[in-house]
């Protein structure tokens, strides 16, 4: 990385509707993060969207008066060549595939949950071979780059990169922890900068072991507030339906919105089934939202991130991404929660596995802060999801059908091996074109 030349960023999945978030973040932090080139790269199917969002990015940068060149390309290798940071935000099979991930399990009376649930398994099976291919290109074309992955299931994907690629400079990133920090700051009516949370767990399975304002623990007060249903989710894509006060107080740690699926499975299933028969699954709602967003993005007079983007679940995504990249670049040594190799920080998880944990962010990447053992009430569920992530990643790499059935069965949202196999079979067929690793085997 050279201060004189400025930085090159390559964003894979550049046609995503979230790109203006990222660009807004780069603009805000330009003083600390002198980017010279932003390369948006996508596949043919995403070309039109990339052009629309890329032109908006150009207008945003022009309005800010910054010397950042925006390149739009379908040539991933050209985008990666000598990049300093590679961000990945792609969706294999687009939102149509997510809709299947969410809908098919519902037919069997099972939640789809597109990240750590049955749907997430299939998202992982589609995504992992692609990210590993990207890793090979990174090794060859920009071996010193940091890979910052937002693609879900971010935990399973980070696990796969750590285990099955030669890339060591990888960080998995999510907006949930920053969303929780912001939400709690609002609940307590204090500035976000005064809040610190000790995060520990896995992506979308992370807990706040303690929470401080100016270094003083306010955990009990915050847990009390979490018992109000209005405060039980901090992201737009999951409606908080409230915790039983007895449960959340005895749990003794802060939950993340995705815990609703695991501790309130029946109610969430009923809600998702109702939605599926009404306004549609979340993917279907997002498809409509995306249409509106891209219509707005087309407006040649628009040169800011439109507020409508805040209806998406990824709020604060740019803050999380750009503050991470900035801290690596400037060796800031501030504390941020990210997905990285555990290295013993959480005693209950293998040292070589990916965890989501508060880290000190240095020029050599995130250094996880030691959290000791996870408290007994949450340890089992975290370990179960870690097993799911590991077996899911292994199935994605090997194309082993039995391992896919195993991963589905050990997911806490699945009720049985038989139902898991039925769901796997239907989803394999539905996603066939994006799962060549399984079909090559079966046909051989
Ligand atoms: C969350 C998660 C992301 C996820 C997003 C979905 O907050 O952290 O991992 O991709 O929301 O939002 P959407 O608007 O696509 O449903």
Is-contact 192 319, C-beta < 8 A? no
- Residue 98 counted as an annotated binding residue: yes
What residue spans of 112-264 are helical by DSSP H?
118-141, 154-164, 176-188, 219-226, 245-251, 259-263
CB of 312 closer than 6 A to ligand 1? yes
The residue among 204, 152, 163, 166 whose CA lies nearest residue 397 is 163
pTM summary value: 0.96
Under-70 pLDDT residues of the chain = 1-4, 441-444
Q: Residue 58: how many CB atoms within 10 A of its CB?
A: 17
pLDDT for 1 equals 52
Closest approach atom of ligand 1 to CA 98: 15
CB of 282 closer than 6 A to ligand 1? yes
- Distance in Å, CA 312 to ligand 1 centroid: 7
- Residue 323 counted as an annotated binding residue: no
Instruction: State pLDDT tens for residues 289-317.
Output: 999 999 999 999 999 999 989 889 888 88
Q: Whose CA is nearest to atom 11 of ligand 1?
A: 313
Best residue for ligand 1 mutational test, from 152, 203, 314 (most atoms within 8 Å of Cβ): 314
CB of 180 closer than 6 A to ligand 1? no
Closest approach atom of ligand 1 to CA 311: 14
Is residue 258 among the annotated active site residues? Answer: yes
Name the active-site residue from 207, 258, 261, 262.
Answer: 258
Best residue for ligand 1 mutational test, from 17, 199, 235 (most atoms within 8 Å of Cβ): 235
pLDDT for 4 equals 54
Instruction: State pLDDT tens for residues 310-350.
Output: 889 888 888 899 999 999 999 999 999 999 999 999 999 99
The residue among 258, 13, 230, 256 whose CA lies nearest residue 111 is 258
User: Which residue ranges form the domains of the chain, and what is each CATH number?
Assistant: 7-172 (3.40.50.720)
- Distance in Å, CA 325 to ligand 1 centroid: 20
Instruction: State pLDDT tens for residues 103-148.
Output: 999 999 999 999 999 999 999 999 999 999 999 999 999 999 999 9
pLDDT for 2 equals 44
The residue among 340, 399, 425, 383 whose CA lies nearest residue 125 is 399
The residue among 190, 181, 201, 249 whose CA lies nearest residue 221 is 249
CB of 314 closer than 6 A to ligand 1? yes
- Distance in Å, CA 114 to ligand 1 centroid: 9
Q: What pairing do the DSSP bridges indicate for beta strands 170-172 and 146-149?
A: parallel
CB of 313 closer than 6 A to ligand 1? yes
């Amino acid at each position: 990385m050279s201060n004189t030349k400025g930085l090159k960023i390559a964003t894979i999945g550049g046609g995503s509707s979230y790109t203006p978030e990222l660009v807004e973040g780069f603009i805000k932090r330009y003083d600390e993060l002198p980017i010279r080139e932003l390369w948006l790269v996508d596949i043919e199917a995403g070309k039109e969207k990339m052009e629309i969002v890329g032109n908006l990015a150009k207008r945003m940068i022009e309005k800010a008066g910054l010397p950042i060149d925006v390149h739009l390309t379908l040539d991933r290798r050209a985008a990666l060549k000598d990049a300093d940071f590679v961000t990945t935000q792609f969706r294999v099979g687009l939102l149509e595939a997510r809709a299947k991930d969410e809908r098919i399990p519902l037919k069997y009376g099972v939640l789809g949950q597109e990240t750590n649930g049955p749907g997430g398994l299939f998202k992982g099976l589609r995504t992992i071979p692609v990210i590993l291919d990207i890793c090979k290109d990174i090794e060859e074309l920009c071996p010193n780059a940091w890979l910052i992955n937002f693609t879900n299931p971010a935990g399973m994907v980070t696990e796969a990169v750590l285990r099955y690629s030669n890339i060591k400079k990888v960080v998995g990133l999510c907006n949930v922890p920053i969303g929780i920090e912001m939400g709690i700051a609002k609940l307590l009516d204090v500035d976000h900068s005064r809040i610190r949370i000790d995060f520990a767990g896995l992506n979308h399975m992370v807990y706040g072991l303690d929470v401080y304002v100016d270094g003083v623990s306010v955990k009990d007060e915050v847990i009390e507030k979490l018992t109000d249903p209005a405060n039980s989710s901090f992201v737009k894509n999951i409606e908080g339906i409230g915790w039983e006060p007895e449960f959340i107080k005895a749990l003794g740690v802060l939950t993340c919105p995705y815990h609703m699926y695991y501790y309130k499975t029946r109610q969430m299933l009923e809600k998702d089934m109702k939605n599926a028969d009404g306004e549609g699954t979340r993917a279907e709602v997002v498809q409509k939202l995306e249409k509106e967003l891209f219509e707005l993005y087309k407006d040649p007079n628009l040169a800011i991130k439109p507020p409508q983007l805040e209806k998406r679940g990824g709020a604060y995504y740019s803050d999380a991404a750009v503050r991470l990249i900035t801290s690596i670049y400037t060796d800031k040594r501030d504390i941020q929660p990210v997905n990285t190799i555990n290295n013993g920080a959480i005693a209950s998880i293998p040292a070589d596995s990916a965890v989501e944990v508060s880290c000190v962010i240095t020029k050599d990447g995130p250094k996880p802060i030691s959290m000791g053992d996870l408290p007994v009430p949450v340890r089992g569920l975290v370990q179960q999801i870690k097993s799911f992530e590991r077996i899911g990643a292994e199935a994605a790499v090997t194309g082993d059908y039995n391992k896919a059935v195993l991963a589905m069965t050990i997911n806490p949202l699945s009720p049985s091996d038989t139902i898991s196999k039925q769901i796997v079979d239907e989803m394999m067929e539905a996603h066939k074109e994006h799962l060549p690793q399984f079909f090559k085997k079966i046909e051989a």
